[in-house]
Amino acid sequence: MAGTIGALSGLTLGPGSSVRADAPAPRTQSWQAVPAPGSTPAAQLRRIAATGPQLAWAVGEEGRAGPSQGRGLAMLWDGSAWSKTDLSHLTHTRLSDIAVVNATSAWSVGLPADEGTSPLLSWDGTTWREAEFPGLGEPDVRMDAVAVGPDQRVWVSGSRGGSTGLLNGDGRQWQWLDPLPATSANLYRVVLRSPDEVWVSGDQAQATGDGWSGLVARWNGAWTVLPPITGLRLSISDLHPAGPDDVWAVGTEAGIGGPPGRPGNPVLAHWDGTAWTRVQPGFTVGSLTGIAADAEGRAAWISGWNFRDQTRSTYLHRDGDAWTVVRGPAGTATAPYLNDVTPIPGTAGFWSAGMTSPTPAPPTEAYMERLDA
């Protein structure tokens, strides 16, 4: 299939990381499905975030059917069960990301129901409300991803006036920072390495006009755009920056042609401060969607989807110096598709979230798994 990633073995990938020359057999760890509240098909959870074992949020969309673009979906974990929060007073078709501060503060971004401004939403412990920010009311403003630091400052990646960049604020005062120096760029994730070092990932049009390549950039008062991760229509959905010379990126390479819904190829790449190294993730058709670090800040788990074996969810686990394929529980969903994975602070556990089948059409519903380590 066009766009399949060639296997690379025996390469040094940064501190304590390499690819095994022998492909290890997929194995199962103690990932377990966790019941999610009933969602109106088609539904999916796009992102998940936690502050500890007693608090987590997951957001996405529900009610997609036929011409309907559906509506936003937000679920709250209270330490014992997930519950849906009321969004009936809002008119957004999707929530695409979530950042959590504590039980009375969280932030989300999404898509508008019409051609209006993409929303920035805040949670006050009782309800979700639209927050005011520069550009509110402008039809070309789009919010894509959100993160919050230990200082409770909020970072939003998005676009305004044809430029892609970051919106930063404390909930009361907001400022758009200098535009990202990359043309025709889309951002899908924003990650804080420190309060003053922010990373983004996505894709940008290739200079040749032939498709797009993976985009990773850093903001620390000015932009540094890393060399593109080249491929055939390649996008980076998430990244983990352990340091300026130790960055992991995951995504999908769509390849060339094919019918609508054609699966792409999973992308796993490592930046060593000089160049990107593409790594064979253990399967060749599907996608990698999210990446999460352990308590030591070391990239540990990657969520994905293996097109050739959809009976269980698929992960990659950092096992010593290698990434190893790990499968989730059997018989919990028709063909589970994971969109994200996140650590549970204060524990060695992780959450993942997605949908019960790879197509966001009825009867697909929201789906979650948890690893208790």
- Each residue of 221-261: pLDDT tens digit? 999 999 999 999 999 999 999 999 999 999 999 987 666 66
Q: Where are the domains of the chain?
A: 27-371
Banded pLDDT at 91 (limits 50, 70, 90): confident
pLDDT digit string, tens, across residues 304-350:
999 999 999 999 999 887 999 999 999 999 999 999 999 999 999 99
Q: Mean pLDDT over all residues of the chain? A: 90
In CATH, what is the architecture of 27-371? Answer: 7 Propeller (2.130)
Q: In sequence order, what DSSP letters do the residues of 35-96 get, joined into one string?
A: -----PSS-EEEEEEEEETTEEEEEEEEEEETTEEEEEEEEEE-SS-EEEPP-TT--EEEEE
Burial-class residue 205 by CB neighbours within 10 Å (0-12, 13-18, 19+): middle
pLDDT digit string, tens, across residues 163-191:
999 999 999 999 999 999 998 999 999 99
Q: How many CA atoms lie within 13 A of 100 on its CB side?
A: 23
pLDDT of 366 strictly over 60: yes
**Residue 284: its pLDDT value, please?**
93
pLDDT digit string, tens, across residues 251-306:
999 987 666 667 999 999 999 999 999 999 999 999 999 999 999 999 999 999 99
